[in-house]
Amino acid sequence: MGRLMGAYDIDDDHDIPELNKCPDCQTYFEGDNCPICGKPCPENMKAGNRPAVKQKKRKRPSGDTGRVTFINWYHSWWFIILMMIIFPIVGIILLITSPHKKIVKIALVIVLILIIAVRYGGLIYYYFNRVFAKTPVYVNTKITETEYRQKCEEINAETLYRAADGYKDAYVRVTLTVTGREVDFSEEYYPTYYICKTEDNENVVFLVRNCLIDVKNYIVGDKITVYGEFKGNQSLWTEISSFDYPCIYMAYADLVKE
């Protein structure tokens, strides 16, 4: 009896050329008879007589380098996820540079980009408009300054105040005194308004929207002659309160020197 070297080989591309092989039970052995089934070994299955077995190419599992990969602490999943919550951009960079599987990284980056777009999309759009978009013009710029001033009819401030709806969209010229300056936070471009009164009647209050074609700044106490388009009653929303007064969109203005 031969010495048992192996039994029931199930790997078709495996062979032990220096041993005999039983054609029935696929056992490798030394000697003439199979130690498992007892059958004699045919000549064509004896060592040296069998044709060489063609070896199959074995694919290494995807991502398996055959070596243990040590991951830095900043590439650990817990740290990457923490950064994605606190600092999303840093989280994306850490994920991309990490040794984790490529398909997982791609999926997580796409998910994170979608989260950022939903969370910060409105804010990004707002600041993009503030920086790159052109502020709309609210007064007539298709005529010259001389033509514009000529179109403006001089109207008594108290008359204009009392009949706000009757002069809506009219070109007006009126002299007022600046008593305050506010920013409207309800509009996209945060326009500046001057709160103005007349010298004769402090209860006659106007909102004068700064649409100046030639940019100027006025301070409290300045007396100005406003050339603009009257828009009737309009609300102004500040950080702490709101105002509702007749409003003039000011295209030009002159500082009245006493």
Produce one character per residue of 117-141: b if its CB has 16 or more CB atoms within 10 Å, e if not.
Answer: eeeeeeeeeeeeeeeeeeeeebbee
Of 34, 58, 82, which closes a domain? 58
d(CA 92, CA 110): 10
HSE at residue 50, side-chain half, CA atoms within 13 A, is 20
Domain with 227 in it: 145-255
- 139, part of any domain: no
pTM for this one? Answer: 0.49
- 68, part of any domain: no
d(CA 44, CA 23): 10
Are 183 and 248 in the same domain?
Answer: yes
Are 90 and 164 in the same domain?
Answer: no
- 95, part of any domain: yes
User: First and final CA of the chain: distance in angstroms?
Assistant: 131
Are 123 and 150 in the same domain?
Answer: no
The count of structural domains within the chain is 3
- 65, part of any domain: no
- The CATH number of residue 163's host domain is 2.40.50.140
Mean predicted lDDT score pLDDT of the chain: 80
Are 242 and 172 in the same domain?
Answer: yes
Express each pLDDT in 82-130 by its tens digit.
Answer: 887 787 778 878 888 888 888 888 887 787 777 777 766 666 666 666 5
- 137, part of any domain: no
Express each pLDDT in 165-193 by its tens digit.
Answer: 889 999 999 999 999 999 888 776 788 89
Return the higher-pLDDT residue of 207 and 164.
207
Return the higher-pLDDT residue of 53 and 160.
160
Are 170 and 127 in the same domain?
Answer: no
Which two three-digit tokens encode residue 216? 């100027």
